[in-house]
Amino acid sequence: MGEPPKEKPVTEPNRRSFHKFGSILLGSIIGAVLTIPGIGFILSPILRKTDAEDGESTGDGFQALAKLSDLQEGIPKVFPVLGKVKDAWVQYPEEPVGSVWLVRKGEAVDAFSAECPHLGCAVSLGPDGNSFFCPCHTSAFTLEGKPNNPVPPRAMDSLEVVLKQTPASDETEIRVKFQRFRTAIPEKSPLA
């Protein structure tokens, strides 16, 4: 008669299950650590924001772009808008985040976003110097920002302007509240 078969220790399956569970848990933690920054990277263009749009540059959303004396009556001039760009992970140094056309009318100033309301190209001065023009798909506008042909879905996007006398000099500062708007729609709808 041979010896009866030995019984396996009852603890073996438990130990294996424990190791398996531990491996899965560790794998999940490593996966999460690697994936979360990856998601942030993928979404960063969406999450990127500018201080100019947030209104942090002057605290009230307005940014000083020029002095009244920089403008000649009825002659449009374009000015860059600077802002601190930041996303979920990084705060970048100040850089241009947009451009604004300013048109002086006596002691008042009109401001328009230079972003074309059609599909977002940069609006330039027309060849006659007396209108605006977008070279991408030929949108044309008057100096008041009104459409001059049927290409653009709406007028150029006007921006709020405040003229402020600087205490240190006789200069009048032109402060503009820079905003971006949705393109390709007839309504002027700010981007969140």
- Site residues for ligand FES per CB under 6 A: 116, 118-121, 134, 136-137, 139, 151
Which of 160, 166, 164, 130 has the alpha carbon at shortest distance from 148? 130
Q: How many CB atoms are located within 10 Å of the residue 171 CB? A: 13
> What is the gyration radius of the CA atoms in the chain, in angstroms?
29
Q: DSSP H helical segments within the chain, as ranges?
A: 11-47, 51-54
Our CB check for ligand FES shows the closer of 69 and 149 to be 149
Which of 28, 132, 145, 47 has the alpha carbon at shortest distance from 89? 47
Least CB distance from residue 134 to ligand FES, whole Å? 3
Our CB check for ligand FES shows the closer of 57 and 139 to be 139
Least CB distance from residue 82 to ligand FES, whole Å? 23
Q: How far apart are CA 139 and CA 160, in angstroms?
A: 23
Least CB distance from residue 146 to ligand FES, whole Å? 15
Our CB check for ligand FES shows the closer of 16 and 137 to be 137
Our CB check for ligand FES shows the closer of 156 and 159 to be 156
Least CB distance from residue 156 to ligand FES, whole Å? 10
